[in-house]
Structure 1
């Protein structure tokens, strides 16, 4: 006897593996984190030790000085690493698109390589480059400008620029590939017509290239905003998970991790995660609104 499944159930049956995996590994942790944000709980005490505390975890997070310091660090790193990514990737993409022809895929792949490289490998590489006594960065600065050796990863003044440089180096290739893909969608007829009208390269960039790239610029900037506010791996590995000298490289992600796994305060960590969800959603909305208003004016 064969089991016959009604035809209208077939699509649901085919996508059921994804739905089950999403429910177990995606939806359940999300809802559990939201519920945990209103609880006081140490995992070592067991599930039965959970105690409802209302909004206490959110009040604690919003009045905690370390949270505000980590948020300032996160915003500084997001701006210092995110803005140069686009200022470099955009003109570089235009240059590669115009100058390298069929070889641009190979060249852009070289720029894209850091994005797919292991974060641990990248952190170890830059940890060696930023070494105080034998690092290539200090050796180059001393040879070129006579500067004394800088404690890049142990100085409160130098740790942030060092982390920002690593993040910039890793993600600039990703934005480059985005802009290269968008440039190939702009009709070449527009450039030919502009040349016939006497428009130079700069005028073509301002009047054709930049407007044609606006949707991709919005997409790339939005990803940079979200990624910058979630920054965790690079500063965590470069500072051995402690936030660096004077906690100058402690991002919200690192502080959230330490709240949960160093101090066993999973309730406060969950509340902090949902607060950051709101911050990211707000800044993403403001970014989209700013681009929409600018596009409407133009």
Structure 2
């Protein structure tokens, strides 16, 4: 008689090969973990999810904040489409965004490129450029209101000393838009420069060294190497700057007041929404404006996302592109 001994793998039952599972722990045994994360979800439900859902509901109603809520369907959105003041606010917002974003990102990229070089006191420059971003917006608006004042502003005083006519910065259509755009540029250039600098530090230094060996100057390195490799970071800053530009509120509100200045030249979408909801107490229409702004921002986000998907390449492909370019030779 032959005695045959077979052993089963640990954790499996004989004949079936199924994994033997231990007894399931009851749900109540995880209460310490659930209790630890509960405050976040509770606060998000109260101050995040509920206001979002309630604003959607309010956009289909007519409510002054005190009386009975009256359901009006799509009437608020129908009025919004034909509201000239809303479209004026949309136009003002887009013009200010264009005047501010393009020079701001270009200056930020140039500053980051210069800070990435071997210069003295690099950390001090970084702090100095980032300081406007943490400065009080109210204080900054008061200072800019004095600098660009029509009657006693420093800018007009400098123009007069140069023999140039004074510019009504705070009482003309384009003057108001340019002033707000300058405020945005002054505040956010350093912030974006720090982001670009972080992206530059991720680029291998041997690429710059090989470019200089091949005879490339600073401009060719900046335009042919730095900008292509920073394209994903640039598109990220474009997206964030677009969202911030469409949500512009504090600068025009503190500088010009709730009416947006002369002919409502500084009336942005968010400032108009604030006026309707918290000055006119038309919370239904204010909610409709807020969701219209969300749709506009979503459209811009989708456009930028498509740009990222279609134009972004991985770092290895970018390195091969630069290698092929430098082999052809780049002159100063």
TM-score after normalising by structure 2: 0.83
Deviation at 1:288, TM superposition (A): 2.1
* CA-atom RMSD in angstroms: 1.9
The answer for the alignment partner of 2:294 in structure 1 is: 277
* Residue pair 2:177, 2:266 contacting (<8 A) in 1 also: yes
Deviation at 1:275, TM superposition (A): 1.1
The alpha-carbon distance between structure 1 residues 204 and 149, as it changes in their structure 2 partners (threshold 3 A), is: closer
The alpha-carbon distance between structure 1 residues 17 and 125, as it changes in their structure 2 partners (threshold 3 A), is: same
* Residue pair 2:277, 2:283 contacting (<8 A) in 1 also: yes
The answer for the alignment partner of 2:205 in structure 1 is: 188
The answer for the alignment partner of 2:7 in structure 1 is: none
SS of 2:117 mapped into structure 1 = helix
The answer for the alignment partner of 1:28 in structure 2 is: 50
Q: Distance in 1 between matches of 2:208 and 2:201?
A: 12
Deviation at 1:198, TM superposition (A): 3.3
The answer for the alignment partner of 1:231 in structure 2 is: 248
Correspondence for 2:116 among 84, 90, 97: 97
Correspondence for 1:133 among 119, 127, 151: 151
Q: Distance in 1 between matches of 2:144 and 2:186?
A: 10
For structure 2, the residue ranges without an aligned partner over 5 or more in a row are 1-25, 319-332
Matched, 1:44 2:79: no
SS of 2:305 mapped into structure 1 = helix
The answer for the alignment partner of 1:248 in structure 2 is: 265
Q: Distance in 1 between matches of 2:198 and 2:29?
A: 41
Q: Distance in 1 between matches of 2:309 and 2:159?
A: 43
Q: Distance in 1 between matches of 2:52 and 2:210?
A: 53
Correspondence for 1:13 among 35, 43, 59: 35
Q: Distance in 2 between matches of 1:218 and 1:147?
A: 39
Q: Distance in 1 between matches of 2:27 and 2:128?
A: 51
Matched, 1:55 2:74: yes
Correspondence for 2:140 among 108, 119, 122: 122
Which deviates the most, 147-156 or 159-168? 147-156
Deviation string, structure 1 residues 59-89 (Cα, Å, up to 9, x no partner): 1111111110100000000110111111111
For structure 1, the residue ranges without an aligned partner over 5 or more in a row are none
Deviation string, structure 1 residues 149-176 (Cα, Å, up to 9, x no partner): 3221122331111111111111111111
SS of 1:70 mapped into structure 2 = helix
Deviation string, structure 1 residues 14-68 (Cα, Å, up to 9, x no partner): 11111111111111111110111111111132xxx10111111111111111110
User: Which of these two proteins has the greater Rg computed from alpha carbons?
Assistant: 2
Correspondence for 1:179 among 183, 186, 196: 196
The answer for the alignment partner of 1:77 in structure 2 is: 96
TM-score after normalising by structure 1: 0.92
Deviation at 1:178, TM superposition (A): 0.7
* Residue pair 2:129, 2:190 contacting (<8 A) in 1 also: yes
Could you say which structure has the higher helix fraction? 1
Q: Distance in 1 between matches of 2:229 and 2:165?
A: 46
Q: Distance in 1 between matches of 2:224 and 2:84?
A: 47
Moved runs in structure 1, 4+ residues, more than 4 A?
4-7
Q: Distance in 1 between matches of 2:198 and 2:55?
A: 38
